[in-house]
Chains A and B, each alone.
Chain A
Amino acid sequence: MSKTKMTGAQAVLESLKREGVDVVFGLPGGVLLPLYDAIYQSDLRHILVRHEQGAAHMADGYARATGKVGVCLATSGPGATNLVTGIANAYMDSVPMVAITGQVNTWLIGKDAFQEADITGITLPITKHNYLLRSAREISRVFREAFYIAHSGRPGPVLIDLPRDVTVEEVEFTWPEVNLPGYHPSFKVHEMQIKKAAKLLMDAERPVIYVGGGVKYADAHRELFDLATKINAPVTTTLMGVGCFPEDHPLSLGMLGMHGTKYANYSIQESDLILAVGARFDDRVTGKIASFAPRAKIVHIDVDPAEIGKNVRVDIPVVGDARNALAALAKEVVPKPRSAWNEKIEAWKKDHPLRYIPDINIIKPQFVIEKLCELAPDAIITTEVGQNQMWAAQFFVHKDPRKFISSGGLGTMGYGFPAAIGAKMGCPECEVIDIAGDGSFLMNSQELATAVVNDIPVKVAILNNGCLGMVRQWQELFFEKRYSATILGRTSPDFVKLAEAYGAVGLRATRPSEVEPVIRAALAADRPTIMDFIINPAEKVSPMVPAGATLSEILDLEWCDEANTSHLEKIYSDARKEILGSEGYI
């Protein structure tokens, strides 16, 4: 190949092109001027955000929806530090991402120069790997390595810090093969371990397959389906695994853990074998770890050997790619008929379904989710964090691994809306709906401008309960209803006017009969749209395993009395009067 001379900035763009990047999310600044000048002259699609946190979450949402590496871009100093939450979020949920930050000139590094921040130091514990470039000659090699590291093995974010002078330096572009002597992601699985795991599966009387985000990233949901249906093993998923197994299938147990279904948690506790795939036994999933699945042997399949044996003892470790492992297992086992175990679970499902008490006067959030599911069953759902997130996981019937996008490990309020924009960029033909809380939405609502300007018609369903609902729920249950700093009242901005101020569509429903028309109108709109659902403020996420309790100690909370509802409404209107000196719009 003939060598071509170009600037560092052009080499960055050439590298992105060769990695197949079709869009980057970013916001410029002083040290990025040369790079942005090169972008101006290229055909790379750049989405200008209004806050760099938004850029990181958009890259993240894009990556989760498409399986490709998401790319975000921020200037040095405050631009870079604004990415930090988004990078940490991607790290906790193993999302493939490349974050590019501008840096001051190499000769100024360490001198506390204007807008200098040690972003490689800051992001050391929240990246899979990071780089500080010193010369334009390193650009192509480092970009190639960064993309490889980000998407292979257990995916994760990689940051590249790009000093200004490196972007103007002249360089001959080459495209060297990746050579990383210290990085060998495990892909193949050990045949012996598969044989042992298959034997345990065959011998088990009460098996449960417990599935995490790893199955999604490995694209292993078909293999999972084959295995589960071949041996009639029930499947439960973590929040990250939601959608990896169709929830309308009889073998589906839905989600497990703190706000999982009762039948999933009972099944885990009574099981004699757990096959964990691409999941990491997080404390929100296991409850009290000492009494987690006391009678079960555990087979753990994970691409990251460090996850095996980290939180629980494992009987059969299987290191490797989930898809290879599940395919091998499905081949190894022989079909098993339905058993007494399946019947027992069926009975639990009948006796303890997910439920709520419908109301004809006040909107129930669960009802909104059910309606969304009915009217947009194939939509990509992103969520914010809190009650909205749990209701979205519980009451939407998820069937596709890449169509439920939620901040699991970090639990980042403000994630869902920019993630929706990123997902829509990656999958423009899909309907994308952010299920939001009134608290979370405001944390990145400035990205309404991004959605409107770039014509990215995402939809937001705000479950407006006038409070930081999930925290309020804990205060109600465990702090004797002392609502310290959780009551927003109905004092958030008027979300309909907010939408309109940005040039988006704003719709509101205050009674149950308005829910369906509002959703229909939103789905018909070809512009970004906010639906403001004024919901019952007293509603709680149910069932619930209190923190530190055993999974089987799961409580029903769906019963919320009218007194509590009106009590909260009174607190809200008092708060509103105090702040605005007027009555609320409810």
Chain B
Amino acid sequence: MKHTIAVIVENKSGVLTRIAGLFSRRSFNIDSLSVGATDNPDYSRMTITVQGDKDVLEQVIKQLSKLINVIRVSELAPAESVERELAVIKVSADRESRSEIMQIVNIFRAKIIDVSAKSMIIEATGDEEKIDAIIQLLRQFGIKELARTGKVAMVRGPRVVKA
């Protein structure tokens, strides 16, 4: 099973290494990890997706909480949170395929951010399934390059995960 957790960490050098090291040492499986600034320059926020049953999730949360630089760890239950991921996809595109690709882009409310004679770059945001789906559909044209951010997520409603 997949679980998404939000981790607020001190914005200090080496913190990412500590977290990555913890996952490898304890044999936890990371599916995706994204890091970025928060509203407070002292803290960063990580969104981590891990594989495992309930016991593994509990250990992941407890072990992360033990790190001195980790301020807060919170599970984001899928039913109660919104999740987004961004992908940029470079596909082969010539005069013939271009309009068909644009149709797909429209259906997914994605964007074209670069065009050349032989290729296009598409920017798509959405949850993991949506990104998987658009990639699947674009595959027929030839995906030349793909970059995904990994997931970011937030609890719906007034509850907040903050330092």
B10 contacts across to A, CB distance below 8 A = 181-182
Cβ B55 vs Cβ A182 within 8 A:
no
Q: Check A180 for interface membership: any CB of B closer than 8 A.
A: yes
Per-residue contact bits, chain A 526-543, to B (CB 8 Å; 1 contact, 0 not): 000000000000000000
* A180 B68 Cβ-Cβ under 8 A: yes
Q: Is B113 an interface residue (CB 8 A)?
A: no
Set B25, B59, B71: member contacting A182, Cβ < 8 A:
B71
Q: How far is the CB of A290 from chain B (nearest CB, A)?
A: 15
Q: A149-B68, A182-B10 are in contact. Are A310 and B59 (CB under 8 A)?
A: yes
Considering only residues 53-80 of chain B, those with a C-beta below 8 Å from chain A are 55, 58-59, 62-63, 65-72
Asked if A431 is at the interface of the complex by the 8 Å CB criterion, the answer is no
Is A46 close to B, CB under 8 A?
no
On whether the beta carbons of A125 and B21 are closer than 8 Å, the reply is yes
Q: Does B18 contact A (CB under 8 A)?
A: yes
Of A120, A121, A132, A182, which is within 8 A of B69 by CB? A182
Query: Does B14 touch A at the CB level, under 8 Å?
Result: yes
Task: State A181–B63 Cα separation when bound (angstroms).
Answer: 17
Q: Would you call B136 an interface residue if the criterion is a C-beta within 8 Å of the partner chain's C-beta atoms?
A: no
The reply to whether B62 and A183 contact each other, CB–CB distance below 8 Å, is no
Q: Judging by beta carbons under 8 Å apart, are B62 and A306 in contact?
A: yes
- B68 contacts A120, C-beta separation under 8 Å: no
Which A residue sits closest to B58, measured CB to CB? Answer: A309
> A304 with B25: in contact, given A124-B18, A181-B10, A181-B163 (CB under 8 Å)?
no
- From A305, which residue of chain B is reached at the shortest CB distance? B62
**Does B17 have its Cβ within 8 Å of any Cβ on chain A?**
yes
Let me know if A182 and B62 touch, CB within 8 A. Answer: no
B68 and A129 form a contact (CB under 8 A): yes
Number of interface residues of A (CB under 8 A): 17
1/0 per residue A166-205: CB within 8 Å of B? 0000000000000011110000000000000000000000
CB-CB under 8 A from B17, the residues of chain A are: 121, 124
Neighbouring B residues of A309 by C-beta, 8 Å: 55, 58-59
- Interface residues in A295-326 by Cβ distance below 8 A to B read 304-306, 309-310
Assess whether A306 is in contact with B63, with CB atoms less than 8 Å apart. Answer: yes
Closest residue on chain B to residue A181 by CB atoms = B71
User: For the complex, what is the distance from the CA of A306 to the CA of B22, rounded to whole Å?
Assistant: 13
Neighbouring B residues of A120 by C-beta, 8 Å: 14
Name the residue of chain A whose CB is nearest to the CB of B9.
Answer: A182
Contacts between chains A and B (CB distance < 8 A), count: 37
Q: Tell me the nearest residue of chain A to B69, going by C-beta.
A: A182
A183 nearest in chain B by CB position: B68
In the complex the two chains form, what is the Cα distance from A125 to B18 in whole Å? 8
Cα-based distance from A12 to B9 in the complex (angstroms): 28
Q: Report the minimum CB–CB distance from B115 to chain A (whole Å).
A: 42
A540 CA to B66 CA, complexed, in Å: 41
CB proximity to A under 8 Å, residues B1-44: 9-10, 14, 17-18, 21-22, 25
Chain B hits for A182, CB < 8 A: 9-10, 67-72
How many angstroms between the C-alpha atoms of A182 and B62 in the bound complex?
13
- With a cutoff of 8 Å between Cβ atoms, the chain A residues found around residue B67 in the complex are 182
Bound Cα distance A219, B78 (Å): 44
Which A residues are in CB contact (< 8 Å) with B66?
304, 306
* Measured CA separation A124–B66 after assembly (Å): 13
Closest chain A residue to B21 by CB distance? A124
CA distance A304 to B25 in the complex (A): 18
- Nearest chain B residue, comparing its CB with the CB of A149: B68
Scoring A residues 106 to 127 as 1 if CB is less than 8 Å from chain B, else 0, what string do you get?
Answer: 0000000000000011001100
List of A residues within 8 angstroms of B163 by Cβ: 181
* A149 surroundings in chain B (CB, below 8 A): 68
Residues of A within 8 A of B14 (CB): 120, 132
Most chain B C-beta atoms within 10 Å of own C-beta, residue among A120, A132, A182: A182
CB distance from A298 to the nearest CB of B (A): 15
Assembled-state Cα–Cα distance A310/B14 (Å): 27
Within 8 A of B (CB), among A93-151: 120-121, 124-125, 128-129, 132, 149
Set of chain B residues within 8 Å of A304, measured between Cβ atoms: 66
A residues less than 8 Å from B65 (CB atoms): 305-306
Residues of A within 8 A of B58 (CB): 309
Bound-state CA distance A309–B62 (Å) is 11
Residues of A within 8 A of B25 (CB): 125
The CA-CA distance from A85 to B47 in the complex, in Å, is 34
* Chain B residue at minimal CB-CB distance from A128: B68
Q: Chain A nearest CB: distance from B134 CB in Å?
A: 38
Expressed in whole angstroms, the Cα–Cα distance for A305 and B22 within the complex equals 16
Residue of A whose beta carbon sits closest to that of B43:
A181
| Residue from A125, A149, A181 with most neighbouring chain B CB atoms (10 Å) | A181
* Distance of A146 from chain B, by nearest CB (Å): 10
Check A306 against B59 for contact (C-beta < 8 Å). Answer: yes
B130 CB → nearest A CB, Å: 35
Complex: how many Å from CA A452 to CA B71?
48
A309 to B18, CA, bound (A): 23
**In the bound complex, CA of A309 to CA of B22 (Å):** 18
Complex formed: what's the CA distance from A237 to B80 in Å? 45
Q: How far is the CA of A182 from the CA of B9 in the complex (A)?
A: 8
B59 neighbours in A (Cβ, 8 Å): 306, 309-310
- For A125, the closest partner residue in chain B by CB is B25
B-chain residues with CB within 8 Å of residue A125 when the two chains form the complex:
21-22, 25
Q: In the complex, what residues of A have CB within 8 A of residue B69's CB?
A: 182
By beta carbon, the residue of chain B nearest A134 is B13
The 0/1 profile, CB within 8 Å of B marked 1, for residues 368-379 of chain A is: 000000000000
Q: What residues of A have a CB within 8 angstroms of the CB of B55 in the complex?
A: 309
Q: Which residues on the A side are within 8 Å of B63 (C-beta)?
A: 306
**A and B contact pairs by CB, cutoff 8 A, 20 listed:** A121-B17, A124-B17, A124-B21, A125-B25, A149-B68, A180-B68, A181-B10, A181-B71, A181-B163, A182-B9, A182-B68, A182-B70, A182-B71, A182-B72, A183-B68, A304-B66, A306-B63, A309-B55, A309-B59, A310-B59
| A304-B66, A306-B65 known, 6 other contacts, Cβ within 8 Å | A125-B21, A182-B69, A182-B70, A182-B72, A309-B59, A310-B59
Please name the 4 residue pairs, one residue from A and one from B, whose CB atoms are nearest each other, closest first: A306-B62, A182-B71, A129-B68, A125-B25
